[in-house]
């Protein structure tokens, strides 16, 4: 079975990796994954109640880490007490003139209070054959004490512990910011039962129930409005900031907020099937798929720590043999290296950057299924678009009314079209009635008949009316986009009906091409219509009259001939294009958040039909990569600079603490920029 727990006091990604490795080596645990950004532990095991078992293992690896079921559960924290008391004792012992024996007691007491926590963790980890930054700090402080640099050793451990407090504050704040981004679940709902309203847990509501959504509340479950009207804030689900008006018979999605009005909604899903739950599950699972950079950092962090320890020993032992410095100086420099070289800044900021980006993307209506896919977005070299429902709206519109017999006015023609189409379920009927834009009276329509794939006929005021394609109305014009109106055997008018191009399609395609991304279009449409649309949009490569298997085979050819580093992306509506979406290097599905095929086949899901979100997703990917690089370069530059300064005798051990904890805090703050809109 799969279990999820939360880990309190998890201070660094290195610590998370160590716990994860130990858990995965345990025979009773099938798999374990720790998400450092959310402090969440996911594991699979046959143990029926694994909390106590896992808690014991974690305690051995990280004594300060606490496994809990509920993230809001209170945890005893005495870190601040030891820090304040230890710091005060050390300050008195160093600055105030007191008897020698009292000064020794104060300083040793200060060391014990400040260092005991880190010392215990280091010893516990050593017992598990783990060498971490805790061990490096302990060796540095004890070494400084032995060398007679008592004040400096005390300053190192105080600054280190103070830095950890500030670091944890910044880390928890960033975690809260990310959590707030995804705070789209409504825990309880107002369930209508006969004439009463009761508040119940969202998970307990059955499909087909009636829920009442008051002003300011989130809609808890997908459904259909059966009473009332309201303006909804859909930004948490679709990323769109403009409120939309919903009325009776309109569909509403869970996670949207009732800004103004009162609604009664008939639920069409259980919570497990709802839009909001699918989004939360996607974001949660996304953080378990690590990007290449994250994997490298996790993989080599422990090796790096051991290497640093080895270099420190070599400097301490061999530097006096080749220079004129004393062993006291060389040991001091070796201890300084230990403090400088802790890998926390990179180990914390890199995974947090990816998780922040995934959270920010989700808030913008872009669901990215993993850090690896987030990385791939910036490397897209070729995007292939499906046409219907992707570049176009997927809905027909009447773009032109063509009148052949001028005895008929435009409104008369539309009325005759609408009277017939009012009885039809054909997708074109809706577009025609919408174009007419009047209430359709059908009481004077007689002998209505419909021939599938051809058209309809009826009698109106003793006139025989036929509406349909060129074959049905027996006309030479073979334009498949036209629907003809025939009255008593004479064609009097036609409607030009097209699948409308999305308003931003031309602009988005132009932007992609300016970003040096090749754009193609695959469609099952006719050559004439496909090339006309491609020309209008500025797409040079267009494949037409394609069946689903044709798209699949064509994409296979493209993938087989691409360069290794190129990323080929296919953008479709997530339904009939699912096989091609799955085949591509990076599948993107547009809209249809409620469709299982859209979610399963694609790597990136756009929760509405806004093509601009593709550009935004690429920009977020580029910004994330930029921030990750900035953090790594900044951390290494500061550490190397302080390291060089320590060798020439300018930098001391307490400055090395800044190179560790200070850099980590700055990198965390830099990472938080990803959460800004």
Predicted local confidence at residue 73, as pLDDT: 45
pLDDT in tens, 51-78: 888 888 888 887 777 887 765 544 445 6
The per-residue pLDDT for 209 is 92
Selection from 585, 590, 621 nearest residue 608 by Cα: 590
Predicted local confidence at residue 653, as pLDDT? 76
pLDDT at 23 over 80: yes
Ranges 99-113, 161-175, 509-523: which has the least confidence = 161-175
Q: What is the mean pLDDT of residues 418-423?
A: 89
Q: How many helices (H) and strands (E) does the chain have?
A: 22, 26
Count CB-CB contacts under 10 A for residue 119. Answer: 19
Instruction: Flag whether pLDDT at 439 surpasses 70.
Output: yes
Q: Are 518 and 383 in contact (CB under 8 A)?
A: yes
From the centroid of its chain, how far is CA 403?
Answer: 52
Q: How does pLDDT run across 452-497, given as a tens digit for each residue? A: 778 899 999 889 999 988 888 888 876 677 889 999 999 999 998 8
Phi, psi of 619 (to 5 degrees): -65, -40
Instruction: Please identify which of the residues 222, 233, 375, 386 carries the catalytic annotation.
Output: 386
Residue 284 reports pLDDT greater than 70 = no
What is the chain's mean pLDDT, rounded? 82
The residue among 289 and 250 whose pLDDT is bigger is 250
Burial class (CB in 10 A: 0-12, 13-18, 19+), 616: middle
pLDDT at 609: 80
pLDDT over 70, % of the chain: 87
Using CA atoms, how far apart are residues 334 and 317, in angstroms rounded to an integer?
Answer: 9
DSSP code string of 381-418 = EEEEEEIIIIIEEEEEEEEEEEESSTTS-HHHHHHHHH
Residue scoring higher pLDDT (297 or 105):
105
The answer to whether the predicted template modeling score (pTM) of the entire model surpasses 0.95 is no
* 386 is an active site residue: yes
pLDDT of res. 547: 80
Burial class from Cβ neighbours inside 10 Å (0-12, 13-18, 19+) for residue 425 reads exposed
pLDDT digits (tens, 9 = 90+) for 570-585: 998 756 688 888 889 9
Residue whose token pair is 């018979």: 249
Per-residue model confidence as pLDDT tens digits over 161-170: 776 777 667 6
Whether the pLDDT of residue 132 is over 90: the answer is no
Domains of the chain: 2-68 (3.30.70.100), 188-278 (2.70.150.10), 371-392+502-520+547-619 (3.40.50.1000), 395-501 (3.40.1110.10)
The whole-number pLDDT of residue 306 equals: 76
Helices 51-61 and 13-25, axial angle in degrees (round to 10): 120
Query: What dihedral angle (degrees, nearest 10) is formed by the CA atoms of 549, 553, 555, 557?
Result: -170
Structure tokens at 127: 């017992």
What would the pLDDT profile of 204-242 be if each residue is shown by its tens digit?
999 999 999 998 899 999 999 999 998 888 877 766 666
Sign (positive or negative) of CA dihedral 32, 33, 36, 38: negative
State percent of the chain over pLDDT 90: 21
pLDDT at position 10 over 80: no
Least-confidence region, from 39-43, 434-438, 625-629: 39-43
The per-residue pLDDT for 22 is 86
b/e burial code for range 642-654 (CB count within 10 A of at least 16 → b): bbebbbeeebbbb
More confident residue, 300 or 522: 522
């Amino acid at each position: 079975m799969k279990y999820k727990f939360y880990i309190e006091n998890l201070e660094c990604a290195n610590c998370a990796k160590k716990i994860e490795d130990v858990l995965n080596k345990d025979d009773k645990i099938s798999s374990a994954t720790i998400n450092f950004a959310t402090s969440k532990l996911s594991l699979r095991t046959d143990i029926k109640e694994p909390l106590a078992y896992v808690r014991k293992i974690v305690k051995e690896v990280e004594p300060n880490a606490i496994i809990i079921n509920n993230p809001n559960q209170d945890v005893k924290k005495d870190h601040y007490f030891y820090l304040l008391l230890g710091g005060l004792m050390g300050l008195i012992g160093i600055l105030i003139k007191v008897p020698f024996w009292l000064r020794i007691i104060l300083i040793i007491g200060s060391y014990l209070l400040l260092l005991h926590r880190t010392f215990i963790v280091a010893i516990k980890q050593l017992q598990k054959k783990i060498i971490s930054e805790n061990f490096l700090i302990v060796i540095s402080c004890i070494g400084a004490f032995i060398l007679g640099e008592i004040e400096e050793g005390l300053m190192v451990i105080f600054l280190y512990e103070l830095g950890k407090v500030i670091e944890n504050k910044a880390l928890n704040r960033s975690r809260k910011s990310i959590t707030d981004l995804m705070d789209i679940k409504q825990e309880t709902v107002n369930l209508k039962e006969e004439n009463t309203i009761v508040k119940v847990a969202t998970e307990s509501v059955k499909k087909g129930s009636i829920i009442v959504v008051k002003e300011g509340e989130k809609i808890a479950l997908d459904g259909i409005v059966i009473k009332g009207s309201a303006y909804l804030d859909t930004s948490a689900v679709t990323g769109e900031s403009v409120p939309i008006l919903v009325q009776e018979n309109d569909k509403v999605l869970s996670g949207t907020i009732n800004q103004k009005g009162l609604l009664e909604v008939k639920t069409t899903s259980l919570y497990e099937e709802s839009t909001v739950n699918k989004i939360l599950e996607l974001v949660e699972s996304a953080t378990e798929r690590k990007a290449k950079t994250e994997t490298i950092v996790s993989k080599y962090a422990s090796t790096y720590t051991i290497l640093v320890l080895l270099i420190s020993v070599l400097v301490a032992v061999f530097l006096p043999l080749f220079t004129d410095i004393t062993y006291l100086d060389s040991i001091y420099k070796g201890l300084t290296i230990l403090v400088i070289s802790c890998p926390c800044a990179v180990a914390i900021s890199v995974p947090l950057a990816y998780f922040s980006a995934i959270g920010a993307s989700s808030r913008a209506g872009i669901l990215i299924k993993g850090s690896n896919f987030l990385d791939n977005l910036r490397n897209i070299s070729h995007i292939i678009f499906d046409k219907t429902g992707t570049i176009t709206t997927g809905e027909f519109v009447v773009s032109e009314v063509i009148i052949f017999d001028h005895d008929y006015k435009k409104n008369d023609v539309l009325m005759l079209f609408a009277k017939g189409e009012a009885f039809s379920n054909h997708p074109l009927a809706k577009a025609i009635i919408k174009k007419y834009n009047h209430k359709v009276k059908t009481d004077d329509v007689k002998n209505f008949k419909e021939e599938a794939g051809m058209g309809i006929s009826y009698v109106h005021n003793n006139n025989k009316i036929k509406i349909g394609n060129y074959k049905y109305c027996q006309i030479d014009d073979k334009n498949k986009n036209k629907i003809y109106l025939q009255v008593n055997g004479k064609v009097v008018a036609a409607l030009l009906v097209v699948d409308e191009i999305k308003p931003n399609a031309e602009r988005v395609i132009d932007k992609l091409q300016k970003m040096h991304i090749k754009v193609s279009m695959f469609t099952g449409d006719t050559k004439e219509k496909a090339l006309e649309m491609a020309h209008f949009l500025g797409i040079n490569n267009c494949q037409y009259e394609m069946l689903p298997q044709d798209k699949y085979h064509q994409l296979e050819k493209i993938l087989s001939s691409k360069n290794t580093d190129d990323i080929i992306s296919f953008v479709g509506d997530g339904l009939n294009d699912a096989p091609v979406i799955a085949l591509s290097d990076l599948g993107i599905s547009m809209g249809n958040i409620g469709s299982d095929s859209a979610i399963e086949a694609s790597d990136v899901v756009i929760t509405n039909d806004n093509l601009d979100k593709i550009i935004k997703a690429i920009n977020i990917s580029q910004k994330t990569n930029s921030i990750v690089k900035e953090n790594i370069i900044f951390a290494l530059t500061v550490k190397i600079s302080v390291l060089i300064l320590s060798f020439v005798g300018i930098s001391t051990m307490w400055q090395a603490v800044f190179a560790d904890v200070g850099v980590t805090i700055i990198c965390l703050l830099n990472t938080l920029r990803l959460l800004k809109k």
